[in-house]
Structure formats: structure tokens, C-alpha cells
Structure 1
Amino acid sequence: MDPETSQETQPETPQETPQETPQESKRCILTTCFELEERMDQLDEERRSQIFASALSKAPNMLRTSPPLSHERANLLHIQARLLFFAEDSGPQKSLEIMKEAVSCGIAAGGGEGKFKRVAQLKREEHLREIMLSLGLVDLEKERLEEEAKQKKRDDRAAHHKRSRERKRTRENASLRKLGSAINKLHDKYFTPEICGAPGGPGRITWDDIPHVLQPSSTSEGGLTTNLEERVKRKQWQLESLAFALKRILLRVPPPPLPPPASSSRRIKVVDFGSGSGNSALVLAYLNPSIDFTLIDTKPECISIIKSRCESANIANVTAKLISCNDFKEEFDVGLGVHLCGEGTDEAVVKCFDKQASFLIVPCCLGKISKVVVKGLDNLDLSDQYSAVDYPRSQWLKGELELESYLRYTRLGDYSDGNGEGGSNVDAVLAKKLIDVDRGKVAEEKGYSLSIGKYHPLEASVKNDVICGISPNHNA
């Protein structure tokens, strides 16, 4: 007899069906829910019963490993309620009880934490209302009357706030107009029409002599990229105005002496704060090869572009540094601040005060000052001031205005309507003048000679105010 056949046949051990993990149960239940949502109206009663039984069979495994009030339990109850809603007899009423529990579980499990949890909770609440409507448990007329009453309260409250804002705005505008005479007098004192020269006059740039990589029309590195023809012309006008104004300042700056024991002088140094990729300062540096220019910015990509453009144009009098205005500690003679947003303009001027340097600035985005000075625009908490610059700037205006009013005027003066002076923007124009003369007055209080002018032509930019301050060290 074959020994192999003589061996006693061993009975086969039945293999256990692998138990489904909680994660698999959850996926199955969610798939079931998805199928219901997609095909709710297409399923017949038998298929609904099958899906209902399948979902319920997964429930114990799911609930054994989930906290009693977990977000998953809320989802599961939601699914069961939606399934039961289509059952016969007492199904809808039972579904209502389960759905109420699902909603309360979702709230207890933090249904409002996170976008997806909040969406799921809103969906549960929406389905709860559907069930209540189907059972006739919602008094729609009562709801309508209650909603109308709530809306009336909201409208009354909004109207009250609007009237309060209007009264406050009227008072502040009256205060601004009361200062109007002093503002206009100071502005007329500082205003110097010839600060930027004149179109076609002496000092304009011969653009054919400027390396292409430095020109606004350059598309290779750092230049303008959209609406080229119109924007290039405006940028050229701006640079011609700045070149003329800077030349006027440089004529006042004597060669600064080197520190002892050296007996000679160093080259004049100009710093461009917030230079970006050098679209303004690089042309000025090319036109003034005997002057050293330092361009600073906080964006590494801008510094990289500046260095590349300088190398392409063979410019040797430019240094680019990755540093903020507040952290810059070097000595310099003239500071530039071209279209620095909000407080950035004042930070650059403060740095010039610290180094007794002259400055040339073109302010921009006055309204952003309030965002930096105070967190929030509608509910100003003046104890929460965190600006590095003190506002109002001058001692003169500190005696005339509170900070809150000053911040409102910065927003009012941040207009872009070049024709505002002759129309409804009279207050906006006056507010803009107020901020400019405040900057001029604080410079005057520190011994500077101040000039305020405009780009030539005015169409060069809607932000066309140019402020020039000559240091007391350069007033000889």
C-alpha cells in the first residue's frame, strides 16, 4: 500500500473570514451614503432595504472603535437617518429622532471646526429640516414672521450704524475744513512747480543711450510685462522727473569726508529703499556714474534680478542688499523712496533723519498706513498701535488731530481721481495735502528745507506727488 495513501486524511480547517477594519467599515458606509445621494429617487424599496441592512451591519464595528460623540458617529447616524427616511410605516418619524441625534453629535464633536466638518454639519442640519418639513413639523408662517422681524432688526441696526458713521464723517470733514486754511498755506509754501523740470525741457533722458536691459521696455529681466506701450511711456516720464529732481539734490550735497584719520572724501552715496528689481534706481545710477547707489529690498528674487541687470549693463556703481529699511545701518547721503506703500515712505524718511541725509520720495497708498498702525479698520483700538512710525508725524499736527482722525484722513486722501480737486473729491484732495504737509512739517521741524512738486507730465502716474527734503547738512 502506498504510504502516502495510507496516511489518515486530515480534515481541512475552515478559514476565518478576515474581519473588516473600522477604516474599511467607514469607507463602505461613506460609499453607501454617496450612492444614496446620487440615486435616491431611482432606487426601489427593495434596494433601499438592502442598502439599509448593509449600513446597519457596519454600524457595530464602526461604533466599537469610535468615541461616542465623534464626528464619524455623527456621519454614521446621518446615513442611517437618510436610509430610514424611505422606510415604510414609522420610518420618517424614527429617521427624525436619529437625525436629531446626528446633528447634536456633530455639534458636540466640533462640527464647526474645519471646513469639511462644517460642511458636513450644515448638510446634516439641512437634511434634518427636510425630514421635519415632510412630517409637517415646521410652521412656515411662524418662521416667515420671525425671519421678517429679525431682518427688520438687522436693517435698523445697519441704518443706525450708517447714520453714526455719517455723523462722525461729517464732524471729521468739518474739522478737516477748519484746518483747510493752514493746510493750503503750508502746501503753497512747500510747492515748487519746477522740482521735476518740464516735458521736453533740459534734463530729459535720451532713451536710446540707456542700455535696453535697464529700460522700462525691457522684457528680459525686471521690465514691464503688460500694456507695454502705454506703461513704458508713463514710466519714462516718471524716471525723467526723478532724474531731474535727484540732480537738483545732488548739486547741494558736498563730497562727504572720510572718518579720521583719513583726510580725503568718499563718493556720494544714494540708497533706494524698497527698490524692487531696480526699475527706478538703475536708470538713475547709470546716469550718475560718479555716485554710488545701494538698492535694498526684502525679496531675494529682486536682489538677484538687480545683480543680473547690472552685470548685463556693465554698471559698477550699484550694490544690492537683501535687508529691510529698519535694519539698514550704513551711512548715506540721499534716500530714495519711490512708490513705497503706506508707512514704508515714512520709514524711509525716518532713516534719512537718523543719518542727516536728504531725501526724494513719491508717496503711495496712504490708506495702508491705518492697516499697519492699527489692526482693523472698522473697530479701531488705539491702544493696539504697533507702527514703527509715530503718527501724526509733526508736532504741529499732533496738537491739532487725534490719531483716529488722522488715520481716517489717510484713507480719505488715498484717491486715484486726478480731477478730484474740481469736483466731489474736494475733501479727499485736502486730506491728501494734509498728509503731505504733515510730512513736510516734520522735516522742517528737523531743520530740512522742503519742496513738494508733481511728476511732469501729471499723466505719468495718478500717484504723482514728489516730496524733496534737503538735509541741514546740505543747506550751505
Structure 2
Amino acid sequence: MMAKMQETSFEVVGEMKNNSVHEECLYLELSNHTGDKILPLHTSIVLFLMSYCDSTSIKVFLVPNEDIAGGPLWKKEALANIPISILSQQELPPVVRSCRLPALVEKDGKFCRAGLAVVLRHIIQRTCDADCNRKDVSELLGFKKTCLKACAEVSLGDCRGEMLKALPMLARWYQHVQEVSGVKKAAASCGIHLLSLPAPLSSAAVLIPSSCDPENEKAETTDLHFRGGPRPTMNKLEEHGISAKFTSHPCPSWSLDWRNLPVAVNPIEGKLSFERALRKQQQLDNIISIVAKLAKPGDTIVDFCSGGGHVGIVLAHILPLCQVILVENKEESLVRAKDRRDNLSLNNIWFVQANLDYFTGPFEIGVALHACGVATDMVIDRCIKALAAFVISPCCYGFIQNTIKPTFPRSQKFKSVLSYKEHMVLCRFADQTAVQLPPERRIIGKKCMGLVDLDRACSAEECGYTVYVTSMEPDSCSPKNNLIVGSSSGHCLGVTA
């Protein structure tokens, strides 16, 4: 399922053509394997879809993952309807250099869509917008038009012919797809060789490999030391000298002068009610007061899980000498943020529609307001990898669970005391902080919330960070009012952790 490129003449682009800034530009990876130029699977899939859609409005660049200067020029047989050029990694637009490929950039060079699912969906939507009669294309998104939307893009292996034989339903789908009108033509035009498979095995005859470790699963279900409910778990931690602790907020009374800010900066512009907008202002005051102390001119600040850009747009407005990047996987939210940016004529803000893993660029500060579940842990890990400071408000503790990357408890300190199931008890009760709950339950919920975030803070400290957990002021601004603040150079935090 990978297309091999053939030697022939090719246009190598030294500088992007002036007219290319007026088009959407698509950047695809070109790999080098034992002297051959190979199109990776994700590149082949994108080119296949473009050929199937007869897409001609997007300029395509292949980006070698190694320097080919001075080497032979390469090109596969040209697709009749897709002009392709080669661009070196050094010549990529800045926002694309911060993302994994495939990536597609709008004409202003500041709105980037990255990741296979996001790029495929956009190509389909562009085709349908241009020709409403292309039902063969619109049906690719399913009857609810939600296919490829907010896709996790997680793969456990290489889905070649051998794997297809072991997955009978997928093998039948693969054979059915080859019978769809236009598929074989599109595949041939971009050098994709479709596999001819024998009759698939029945489901009953196939032993599906599992990524789960049965020994670990058995150990969890037979944990003789596990005791249910939050109090026994909290008591167990206290017996080992671990209790929820909150540092005083470094700027408890700091607030922006919202009345004198442009309307498009205000959260109420994001279609919120007045009451919700007021609480959002208070949440933003808490985060921005800390970020403003950390930020220096020239810093890049990334607003992860940005939604409609409530945090990022304010930061870009009040810190004009910093570059702000909004990373969000929901297109509608980023389009809304982009409209607000346009109203404010902000030039220091980029937009990246992608899963968090697809943003790979350097930055100095990472922020996230109400990052759900393990998204908080992914943001912290991404910040630590970049040696960046972070200011994060977690949310949806009940959604926390072991995944391929984050596992819980996070820190060695907590792992030495709690099992996974005991930690999940804390997470479940940490969600019980809503104002309509009895005060006693909310107090326990707040303590559980503090313990879960203390575990996260300890994990970052084990990576050399200085970290503290604090509460937003006032508490009423959100039932999820914790803030985790960390820096690899602790003196910049302005408080003693």
C-alpha cells in the first residue's frame, strides 16, 4: 500500500511561487528507503482521495524527510489532475514546521490543518462545496457527516495483507471498496497497488490479538488490598504523609479591565450567556495573571484544547510581542476563533486544527483551560518535552483512565501507595464538586481533585520541574477550579511551591 516513485524530471521548488500564497497548500511526506523515494501510506491515501475527488484547487508539495539536494530528482508518474512540487523542510511555512505531516495551510499561512483524518475531511468538504452533485464524495462522511471528525488516529500496527487476512470484516470491506466506481482508476493514477486477497476467514476462525496484558488485568481484578470509596483511599495516602495541598494564588485579585477591552476579546463574543461569560472572565483572569508573569517578549505560547480561543485571543491581544498558537481538533471552534482574530486584526496568532500529538513545534509556555480527562496529562507531557512552563486547569476527572501513553497513578510517589483502581476512585469522586451537591460531598470532591492533581504535580517534579497546585479565585468561577502551574526554572513561578 505504499507507492514507489519513478525517476524522471521534477520541479524542485527553491522558493514558493508568489502565486502559491493565493492557494491552499498541502504538504505531504516523501520518505527515503534504501535509495528509493517512497510515498508513505498516509501520503498515498491523501493523493488517492484527491485523485478520486478530482481535486485541482489545492497546490501539493512533497516534503522529503531527508535532504535530497545534489541527489537525483524524483517524481512518480504525474497525476493528470494534481500538480505536485518538491519543497525542502527548511522552506516550509513556519506553522507547518510546527506540525506533523500531512498538513494543509490556508492562503494567509496562519491556519493549518494537520493529521490524516483532518486533512481527508477537509478535502472532501472542499470538493462538496465546489460541486454539490458529488454525492459519491459527500457519502464518504457517512449519513450523519461525522466520519473522520475528532478522530484519535491511533494505530496498533501495520495493516498489510497479512493483517487483513486476520480481520475478516475489514477484508470484506477492502474487497467491497475496490468495486466502487472510480476507486481503481484513482488508485492507478497515483501509483497505489490494491491487494488481491483470498476469501477472508470467518470471524469464528480468527484469533484476534489483544493489546491488553491478561496478567495485569487479572492482578487488577484480584487486588486484595483494594478498598472502595474515597475515604479509605484518602486515609491510606495520609498514612504515607500524602494529603491534598494548595498553594495560595500568586495574583488573587488581578483582573483585566474587561470594560475597556475590544468586544471581540470578551468571552461574551464567543456566544456565551452573560452569567457564563462573567465566570469565563474570572477563569481567564486567573490563568492570564500567571502567564503574564511567566512570558517574555518573543516567547511562543500554545493554547492547547483551545476551543473558541477564549484564552489564546486574550493572550495575543495583551502580549503583542509573543506568538500565540491555538491547537484544537474541532474545526467549528477554530473558525469561530479565527473570525474573532480577524475582527481584532491580530497578527501574532496561528491556528492548528489537529489532535494534540500532531503539534510538534517549540514553545515556551503551554496553557489549557479545562482540558478534559487525560488531555491535561498529554498537555503536561508535551510541555515537559519542550521544556516549557505550563498553566493548566484540568476538567472531567471521571474520564481519566489508562491509555497507550498516560498511565495512572502518574508519579512514583503515588504508585508506591495506590493501585490503579484506588486512583480511579479518587478520579471518580473528584468530579463531585458541582454547586448543587451537598457541602460535605463537595469538600470531599475538592480533596480528591487536589490529590489527583498533586499526583500530576509530583510526576512533573520527578522530571525536574517546580510545580504547585492552586485554586482559582473566586472558587465560584468554576466547580473545576484547580490550576496546575509548573516550570523547569522554578524561580519564574513567583511563589514557593
TM-score range for the pair, normalised by the shorter chain length: 0.5 to 0.7
1:195 aligned residue (247, 250, 256): 250
> Structure 2: which amino acid aligns with 1:416?
T
Contact 1:271–1:335 under 8 Å retained in 2: yes
- Cα distance, 1:205 vs. partner? 0.8
1:322 corresponds to: 353
Which secondary structure state, in structure 2, belongs to the residue aligned with residue 367 of structure 1?
helix
The question of 1:175 aligning with 2:175 is answered no
2:283 corresponds to: 238
Structure with greater proportional strand content: 2
Contact 1:295–1:320 under 8 Å retained in 2: yes
- Cα distance, 1:243 vs. partner? 1.5
1:271 corresponds to: 302
- Cα distance, 1:172 vs. partner? 6.4
- TM-score (norm: length of structure 2): 0.51
The question of 1:364 aligning with 2:419 is answered no
Question: Hey, what's the Cα distance between the residues in 1 that align with 2:443 and 2:336?
Answer: 42
Contact 1:183–1:437 under 8 Å retained in 2: no
Distance 1:217 1:402, change over 3 A: same
Question: Hey, what's the Cα distance between the residues in 2 that align with 1:290 and 1:171?
Answer: 49
Q: Percent identity?
A: 29
- Cα distance, 1:196 vs. partner? 4.0
Question: Hey, what's the Cα distance between the residues in 2 that align with 1:412 and 1:352?
Answer: 27
- Cα distance, 1:337 vs. partner? 1.2
1:285 corresponds to: 316
- Cα distance, 1:473 vs. partner? 8.2
Question: Hey, what's the Cα distance between the residues in 2 that align with 1:197 and 1:433?
Answer: 18
Q: What 5-or-longer segments of structure 2 have no aligned partner? A: 1-221
> Structure 1: which amino acid aligns with 2:309?
G
Question: Hey, what's the Cα distance between the residues in 1 that align with 2:265 and 2:476?
Answer: 22
Contact 1:196–1:455 under 8 Å retained in 2: no
- Cα distance, 1:354 vs. partner? 0.6
Task: After superposing the two structures, state which structure 1 stretch, 356-365 or 456-465, moved more.
Answer: 456-465
Which secondary structure state, in structure 2, belongs to the residue aligned with residue 336 of structure 1?
strand
The question of 1:471 aligning with 2:488 is answered yes
1:429 corresponds to: 446
Question: Hey, what's the Cα distance between the residues in 2 that align with 1:288 and 1:181?
Answer: 46
Question: Hey, what's the Cα distance between the residues in 2 that align with 1:449 and 1:276?
Answer: 28
The question of 1:406 aligning with 2:423 is answered yes
- Cα distance, 1:429 vs. partner? 3.3
Question: Hey, what's the Cα distance between the residues in 1 that align with 2:285 and 2:229?
Answer: 42
Q: What are the Cα deviations for residues 282-323 of structure 1, in whole angstroms up to 9, with x where unaligned?
A: 112211111110001111222222222111111111101111
- Cα distance, 1:244 vs. partner? 0.8
Contact 2:430–2:445 under 8 Å retained in 1: yes
1:247 corresponds to: 292
Distance 1:230 1:441, change over 3 A: same
Question: Hey, what's the Cα distance between the residues in 1 that align with 2:449 and 2:490?
Answer: 29
Question: Hey, what's the Cα distance between the residues in 1 that align with 2:239 and 2:262?
Answer: 48
1:295 corresponds to: 326
Q: What are the Cα deviations for residues 250-291 of structure 1, in whole angstroms up to 9, with x where unaligned?
A: 2xx6x6xxxxxxxxxxx2000011101112221122111111
Q: What are the Cα deviations for residues 45-82 of structure 1, in whole angstroms up to 9, with x where unaligned?
A: xxxxxxxxxxxxxxxxxxxxxxxxxxxxxxxxxxxxxx
- Cα distance, 1:419 vs. partner? 9.3
Distance 1:182 1:459, change over 3 A: farther
The question of 1:351 aligning with 2:402 is answered no
Q: What are the Cα deviations for residues 22-55 of structure 1, in whole angstroms up to 9, with x where unaligned?
A: xxxxxxxxxxxxxxxxxxxxxxxxxxxxxxxxxx
Q: What are the Cα deviations for residues 342-365 of structure 1, in whole angstroms up to 9, with x where unaligned?
A: 011110000001111000000101
1:217 corresponds to: 268
1:340 aligned residue (368, 371, 376): 371
Distance 1:171 1:322, change over 3 A: closer
1:390 aligned residue (407, 412, 417): 407
Count of residue pairs the alignment pairs up: 271
Q: What are the Cα deviations for residues 218-257 of structure 1, in whole angstroms up to 9, with x where unaligned?
A: 2xxx331xxx22112111111111111212222xx6x6xx
Question: Hey, what's the Cα distance between the residues in 1 that align with 2:284 and 2:229?
Answer: 41
Which secondary structure state, in structure 1, belongs to the residue aligned with residue 277 of structure 2?
helix
Distance 1:475 1:461, change over 3 A: closer
Structure with greater proportional helix content: 1
- Cα distance, 1:439 vs. partner? 0.8
Which secondary structure state, in structure 2, belongs to the residue aligned with residue 315 of structure 1?
coil
- Say what the alpha-carbon RMSD is for the aligned residues: 2.8
Contact 1:449–1:475 under 8 Å retained in 2: no
> Structure 2: which amino acid aligns with 1:466?
L
Q: What 5-or-longer segments of structure 1 have no aligned partner? A: 1-163, 256-266, 374-385
Q: What are the Cα deviations for residues 112-162 of structure 1, in whole angstroms up to 9, with x where unaligned?
A: xxxxxxxxxxxxxxxxxxxxxxxxxxxxxxxxxxxxxxxxxxxxxxxxxxx
2:24 corresponds to: none
Which secondary structure state, in structure 2, belongs to the residue aligned with residue 179 of structure 1?
helix
